[in-house]
Structure 1
Amino acid sequence: MTTSSRYFVWNENTLCYQAEGDSRLGVLHGSVIRGGRNWRDGCFTPTAGDVLRDATLEDFREYRCQPPRGLFSDGGDVA
C-alpha cells in the first residue's frame, strides 16, 4: 500500500485500498455495525451494485487508520 494506491470507501462501511494495476480491493478497516468487510477475509472484487467513493482524511479518522504520508496535502496525521 503506497501512495500509488487508491483509497476508497466501499458501500459506506469499509475503508479500502486498490493497488495500482489490480482490480481487487483490499480492506483496511470495516465497520461491523454497518455491515463492513473484515480485513482477515482478504481482497475482494467489487460488483456493479457496489458504491465506491474516494476516501477522505475524515474517513481515515473515522476508521482509525493512518493514511500514507503524502496522500493528503496537510500531512495526513490522524491524531
Structure 2
Amino acid sequence: MSPKTTETGTGTGRKGGTRNPALTPGRIAVLVLAVLALIFIFENTQKTEIRLLIPVVTMPLWTALLGMGVIGALFGAYFMRRRK
C-alpha cells in the first residue's frame, strides 16, 4: 500500500490551487516606482527652506521629500487596509 497524498497542482497548500507568484506585474511596477522615487530624492541634496505652519525650517530637500514619501505611504496603507 502506498501512502495517500493530496495534490493541488501548485504545492502552495491553498484551496483551489491558486498561485501567488512573488513577482507580479503590479509588484514590479511598485518596485520600479519606489527605486525611481529614491533616486529622485537622493539627487536633490541642496538645502531648502520649508514653512511648517508658523516656523521656517531649513533642511536638506531630500529629507523633506523622503518624509513626505513616508507619510504618503502610511496614508495609502491605512486607507487600503480600511477598504477591505
TM-score range, shorter chain: under 0.3
Structure showing greater Rg: 2
Q: Which of the pair has the greater relative contact order for Cα pairs under 8 Å at 6+ separation?
A: 1
**TM-score, scaled relative to structure 2:** 0.20
**TM-score, scaled relative to structure 1:** 0.21
The structure that is helix-richer by fraction is 2
The structure that is strand-richer by fraction is 1
